């Protein structure tokens, strides 16, 4: 009897632990938005970047909702719907938001700009753009297992504003400790303008997620180093710190050593060589780290650049502390320290709203902000409304390359990326050419299964090639063998979106598409999926993943309209052209990602092998046989051993201030502008618990 009771207790405990383990599966959800077709100034890479991040998250097991070119109502609705989804997902949820587009700051609040925003003056911003804190605070209040918000939005202000000027870039924010917040450029700075097909930040972030084995904060630290390297110091991303053990992807025991030297990275900056010390202070990205570098190497050629980074961070911290205190004394103190600073007009707006004098009373002593006041040699970098580290007026020396024990070289097949497939259906994100991940990179075993139509998760180690002419995709393994083919899901009112990409928000099927951007604005034409697609003809320039099979004397021309020169097309129904998402030259495909021909009607799907082996596409996706495809002949470019820096003339250039020239410094007593509209004023932010980037 005693043994029977013990057995029953053991069975009960096993059942309890089993149920507990099942409920502990981590659910992964994401919202990805790419705003490109702005009326004011379109962005060449924003939609492509969103497509790249969406695809990368899908491969990591996220249920991704994504859309491009949302107007103001749709953008806010997308955030509200995602908050509802996160709220119903339970505490064991990892939530990820990525926004690519324009962002603006006003009085310490950040705003995301929809494509239809008409902003003529500073007071229009709260009414025409989406305030970040409106969804950041309720998202953090859900206390999910992991929450990440990425704002790829610190860019040149495209609006010619009347009234009082605004500070550039995004404002430093203090997110709750359970939420990681990341910007594509340091607070108060903006990224260079990029031609594409992908921006440096999205490309680097996708690389680090795909590498596997990195804790969350390290993913963003390595992203910062890669972007700094590619932009030659012109762009320094920022992120808050986050705890927890979240990991996008794992590395198996068979994975090669990446070469990191954790002991060296943890040393004090004064004990490192000048080149290592520079890399370390960029990786740490703290006020103390930059100060330590200048104390150790005050005459090094990089000291000038580090001083500019320190100046930007100190000013951002001063302004955030003043905004948090939200008292006349705090704003007078900011104006005393930064009489021509980026937030000069923000401080005046706050004082004017309180109907207090712009100048402090006689004998006023500045409030202690908790940070040392800026030394005179820093002021030159922050006596202007916007700072960008690529400004040639500063004459910075090129930064040293990061050593491999801080930043391993990127995978050869992820150095350059082919332009994505761009579909003409409203709101659908571009679909990049999927680069297979190494077999030693795998999703964690404890995540909940994503939606069954997540083909990238099911084929994380295989090539997935989209053929928009045939309206299908082909899955092949690294050896080039076709595993399966499948039809693209039709896109229309009420449809979930392309099975090959992120799902559209459900409410978008009920809304008309936003007005298309006018031709000649720098955005690529969109490819429209035909209702009755023609069957590709052998030798007639059949389309694959951005590569046209060359016929006699013909080759693929980026941006051309129609089939390849000399290609035959069915009468009265020419094959639509697969448009690269930008006018930039196509980037090389890796050998593993090169497309392979399909056999007519190849609809069979290999059964998924065991964990760690190559996956095949799920049978649910392949509802229709694929039309006959001709194997495209990819044009291979030599691979560089490290990520290639984007040359300023072709890939990025410095933004300009309205009126031309470098951003002018504020000089003399500025004229008093009109008061900020009280009805549209955001509430004061909550007091921070600590200062990310300050320690």
Q: How far apart are CA 579 and CA 561, in angstroms?
A: 8
Q: Is 553 exposed, middle or buried (0-12, 13-18, 19+ CB in 10 A)?
A: exposed
Give CA–CA dist 342/581, Å, rounded: 35
Residue 500's pLDDT band (cuts 50, 70, 90): confident
Considering just the CA atoms, what is the radius of gyration of the chain in Å?
Answer: 26
Instruction: Give CA–CA dist 685/146, Å, rounded.
Output: 23
How does DSSP classify residue 512? Answer: P
- Give whole-number Cα distances, 442 to 205, 391, 561, in Å: 17, 41, 40
Across the range 206-215, mean pLDDT stands at 97
Average pLDDT taken over every residue of the chain: 76
Residue 80 to residue 377: CA distance in whole angstroms: 46
pLDDT at 432: 94
Q: Which of 105-114, 243-252, 501-510, 544-553 has the highest mean pLDDT?
A: 105-114
What is d(CA 182, CA 95) in angstroms, rounded to the nearest whole number? 14
pTM of the model: 0.75
Strand bridging mode 472-476 / 482-487: antiparallel
**Mean pLDDT over residues 194-205, rounded?**
95
- DSSP string of 579-628, one letter each residue: --SSSSPPPPPPTTT------TT----PPP-STTS-----GGG--SPPPP
Residue 204: per-residue pLDDT: 98
pLDDT band at 489; cut points 50, 70, 90:
low
Query: Is the omega angle on the peptide bond into residue 140 within 30 degrees of 0, that is, cis?
Result: no
Quickly list H helices, 375-429.
Answer: 376-382
395 burial level (CB within 10 Å; 0-12, 13-18, 19+): exposed
* pLDDT in the model for residue 498: 54
The answer to whether 433 and 546 are in contact (CB under 8 A) is: yes
pLDDT at residue 143, as a whole number? 94
Q: Does the pLDDT at position 660 exceed 60?
A: no
Q: Is the pLDDT of residue 567 over 90?
A: no
Query: For residue 423, what pLDDT is reported?
Result: 83
Least confident of 201-210, 507-516, 630-639: 630-639
How does pLDDT run across 46-71, given as a tens digit for each residue?
999 999 999 999 999 999 999 999 99
| pLDDT at 367 (0 to 100) | 93
Reading the block at residue 139, the tokens are: 């998202």
Q: Which residue has the higher pLDDT, 3 or 58?
A: 58
Number of other residues whose CB lies within 10 A of the CB of residue 3:
7
Name the pLDDT band for 583 (thresholds 50, 70, 90). Answer: very low
């Amino acid at each position: 009897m005693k043994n029977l009771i013990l057995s029953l207790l053991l069975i009960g405990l096993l059942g309890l632990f089993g149920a507990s383990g099942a409920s502990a599966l981590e659910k992964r959800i994401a919202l990805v938005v790419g705003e490109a077709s702005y009326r004011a100034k379109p962005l060449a890479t924003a939609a492509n970047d969103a497509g790249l991040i969406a695809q990368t998250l899908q491969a990591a097991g996220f249920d991704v909702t994504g859309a491009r070119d949302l107007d103001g109502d749709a953008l806010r609705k997308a955030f509200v719907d995602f908050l509802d989804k996160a709220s119903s997902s339970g505490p064991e949820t990892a939530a990820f938001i990525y926004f690519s587009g324009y962002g603006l700051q006003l009085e310490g609040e950040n705003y995301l700009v929809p494509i239809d925003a008409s902003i003529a003056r500073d007071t229009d911003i709260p009414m025409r753009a989406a305030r970040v804190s409106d969804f950041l605070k309720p998202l953090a209040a859900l206390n999910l297992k992991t929450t990440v918000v990425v704002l790829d939005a610190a860019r040149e202000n495209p609006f010619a504003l009347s009234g009082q000027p605004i500070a550039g870039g995004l404002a430093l924010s203090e997110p709750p400790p359970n939420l990681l917040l990341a910007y594509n450029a340091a607070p108060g700075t903006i990224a260079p303008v990029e031609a594409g097909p992908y921006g440096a930040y999205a490309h680097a972030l996708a690389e680090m997620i795909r590498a596997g084995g990195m804790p969350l904060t390290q993913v963003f630290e390595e992203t910062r180093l890669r972007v700094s390297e590619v932009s030659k110091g012109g762009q320094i991303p920022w992120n808050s710190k986050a705890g927890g053990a979240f990991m996008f992807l794992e590395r198996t025991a068979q994975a090669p050593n990446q070469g990191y030297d954790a002991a060296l990275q943890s040393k004090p900056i004064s004990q490192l060589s000048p080149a290592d010390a520079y890399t370390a202070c960029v990786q740490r990205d703290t006020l103390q780290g930059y100060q330590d570098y200048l104390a150790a190497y005050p005459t090094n050629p990089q000291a000038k650049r580090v001083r500019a980074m320190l100046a930007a961070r100190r000013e951002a911290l001063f302004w955030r502390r003043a905004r948090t205190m939200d008292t006349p004394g705090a704003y007078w103190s900011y104006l005393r320290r930064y009489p021509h600073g980026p937030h000069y007009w923000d401080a005046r707006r706050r004082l004017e709203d309180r109907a207090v004098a712009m100048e402090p009373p006689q004998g006023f002593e500045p409030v202690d902000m908790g940070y040392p006041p800026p030394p005179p040699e820093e002021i030159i970098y922050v006596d202007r409304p916007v700072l960008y580290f690529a400004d040639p007026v500063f004459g910075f020396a090129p930064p040293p390359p990061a050593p491999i024990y801080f930043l391993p070289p990127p995978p050869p097949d992820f150095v350059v990326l082919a332009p994505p497939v761009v579909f003409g259906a409203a709101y659908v994100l571009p679909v990049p050419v999927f680069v297979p991940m190494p077999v030693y990179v795998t999703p964690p075993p404890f995540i909940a299964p994503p939606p069954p139509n997540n083909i990238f998760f099911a084929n994380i180690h295989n090539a997935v090639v989209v053929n928009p002419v045939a309206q299908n995709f082909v899955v092949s393994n690294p050896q080039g063998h076709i595993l399966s083919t499948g039809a693209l899901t039709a896109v229309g009112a009420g449809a979930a979106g392309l099975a090959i990409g992120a799902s559209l928000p459900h409410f978008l099927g009920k809304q008309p598409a936003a007005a298309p951007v006018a031709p000649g604005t720098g955005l690529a034409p969109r490819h429209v999926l035909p209702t009755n697609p023609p069957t590709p003809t052998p030798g007639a320039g059949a389309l694959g993943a951005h590569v046209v099979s060359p016929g006699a004397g013909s080759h693929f021309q980026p941006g051309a309209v129609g089939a390849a020169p000399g290609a035959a097309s069915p009468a009265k129904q020419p094959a639509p052209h697969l448009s690269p998402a930008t006018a930039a030259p196509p980037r090389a495909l890796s050998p593993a990602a090169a497309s392979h021909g399909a056999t007519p009607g190849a609809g069979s799907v290999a059964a998924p092998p065991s964990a760690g082996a190559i996956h095949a596409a799920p049978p649910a996706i392949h509802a229709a046989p694929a039309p006959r495809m001709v194997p495209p002949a990819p044009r291979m470019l030599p691979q560089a051993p490290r990520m290639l820096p984007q040359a300023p003339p072709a890939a990025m250039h410095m933004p300009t201030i309205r009126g031309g020239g470098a951003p002018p410094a504020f000089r003399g007593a500025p004229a008093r502008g009109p008061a900020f509209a009280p009805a549209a004023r955001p509430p004061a932010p909550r007091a921070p618990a600590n200062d990310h980037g300050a320690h």
